[in-house]
Each structure stands twice: as structure tokens, then as C-alpha cells.
Structure 1
């Protein structure tokens, strides 16, 4: 069986299953949402190779200038990120009914020498399509 672009994720999808929003006491979600149920017809998952065709860059352009990136450059950047495991966690929310990426965020992990060679994570590039704002997706 051959692998399709949508089968190649930037990181292991099961990592998202370990996130429990109830563990975040200072963040309330009304109505209740979760990583596994972000909203009707929506799915939260790792970025995959097929997301170029699903408008990932167009959605990101609602946040900042992206540039004119051809698909081969997107795929090359994806492959470079994937080749650096445990570093890049780009997560998207897809509207399954429309087949488009409507939100994304990046967790970038950095290995440090300080704090006993600890790791530091930075959350960057959080964006939700203007049509879907107000549904707690960015907060999630």
C-alpha cells in the first residue's frame, strides 16, 4: 500500500490524544470543547503533506505575510521539519466538510543547556480563519 500526502504527518497524531484541556485550570471553555472534539465537522491534527492543497498557507496569511511559496518548497520545508524530530509541532484544525485548514499553531521545542539541559517550548503562529473566530479554537 502506498502512502498518500495526507498520511504523512509532521509528528505522531497520538500525541494530541494525551492533551486534556481540563488540566488547564485557568482556561475555561464554554461550551466545552476538547482536542478530539473541537467543534462540529472540525478535526485537530498534525500538519500533513497534503495541507498545501487544503489552504494551510492561505490561512497562515491571515496572520502575517507568507510569500508566494510553490508546493515543492512547502514540501521541502515540511521534510526538513519532519527530519528534526521532537522539535516542530505544527497543529492544524481542518473543516472536514469543506476540506480546508481553518486554524493552526506551532509549538517549537528548544533543547537548552540551562536548567539541567531542559527543554523550552514556544507557541508561535496561532491563527484562526476569520470565518471561524469566536469558537475558542485559538484558545485551544
Structure 2
């Protein structure tokens, strides 16, 4: 089960990654292919059972057009080595426009420095455009700002957080 149709995969990014890597949608079977460990390189993940992982994938699949989680799989190992998510928000402003929210960009430590993060961002930008978003936005730490500038993003404000 893929989260979204293959037509949302950027042909340009997929071609740039071939033949060493595959760009694709997250699948429920990725529980066994390192995806949670890649996310652990980003932040706290917690203890997620296979059943909970599959339940989350099924929920995201049921909300097609809203959740786009992509992965880069290393062909030689079959493992996920990079991941990113685009959430599409429906607005009233801009004539009921759509905004893409980029989240959870992570690259396995063993694969960092190979521009896979840039490829994930480019692939999510493609999805945002194909979905009809008038913009994609993201939050990041000051430490990561220059990476996102290299991906074509600009700092337009501050992130505010209230944790519960």
C-alpha cells in the first residue's frame, strides 16, 4: 500500500537518484526497512509497534491528497535512507488556496553529504505544485537555515511554539 499515486513522484528527482536510489511513497512494509531509525536521526520517535506503524500508514492513506510521505530507498540494501513529509492544508484565504507544510526531513547519518536532503525537498516541492499549493512552508532551527536557503527557501519570520 502506497500513501499516494506514483504520478506525484518527481520524474526529475527520480532520474537524478537512479540507479543507486529509488524515490517513492512510504509503504507500510517500510517498518522493516529502517524508516524509524532514519527518523531517530532527526528527533525522538519512541517505541512504535508494527501494528501502530501500519495503523498510521492506513490513516495517512485514507486522507489522500493531504499526507505525502516520501522516502529514498538505497537499492543495494533495500533500506530507507531519507524521508520527508508534505502536509497539505486547506485555507479560506487566497480563494480557498492550499498550503504545503514540509515536515520531518531526515537523512540517515551514513548517507549524509550526498545531497539526499535536497532531493527530498525538491520532490516535496514537486508534490506541492502538483497538488495545487500556492506555497510550501517549513519551520527549521537557525542551524539548518542555510541548508533550506540552498533549497530555494527564504526566512520570512519566526516560528512560535507552545508545547503540551
Q: Give the TM-score taking structure 1 as reference length.
A: 0.80
What residue in structure 2 maps to residue 90 of structure 1?
69
CA deviation vs aligned residue, 1:84-133 (integer Å, no higher than 9, x gap)? 11000000000111111000000110011111000000111001111111
Secondary structure of the 2:58 match is helix
Shift in Å at residue 41 of structure 1?
1.9
After superposition, residues 27-46 of structure 1 pair within 5 angstroms as 34-46=13-25
Give the match for residue 57 of structure 1: 36
* Greater helix content: 2
- Partner Cα separation in structure 1 for residue 45 and residue 117 of structure 2: 19
Report the CA distance between 1:13 and its aligned residue: 1.6
Moved beyond 2 Å, runs of 4+: 34-37
1:44-90: CA deviation from partner (whole Å, max 9, x where unpaired): 10001110010111111100000000000000011011101100000
User: Are 1:12 and 2:12 matched, yes or no?
Assistant: no
Match of 1:103 in 2: 82
Secondary structure of the corresponding residue to residue 101 of structure 1: strand
Return the alpha-carbon distance in structure 1 between the equivalents of residues 55 and 90 of structure 2: 23
What TM-score, normalized by structure 2, do the two folds share?
Answer: 0.69
Q: Does residue 107 of structure 2 align to residue 128 of structure 1?
A: yes
2:45 corresponding residue in structure 1: 66
Q: Return the alpha-carbon distance in structure 2 between the equivalents of residues 14 and 85 of structure 1.
A: 13
Cα displacement (A) at 1:136: 0.9
In 2, are the aligned partners of 1:10 and 1:48 still within 8 Å (CA)?
yes
Q: Structure 2 regions of 5+ residues with no counterpart?
A: 120-164
Which residue of the partner structure matches residue 159 of structure 2?
Answer: none
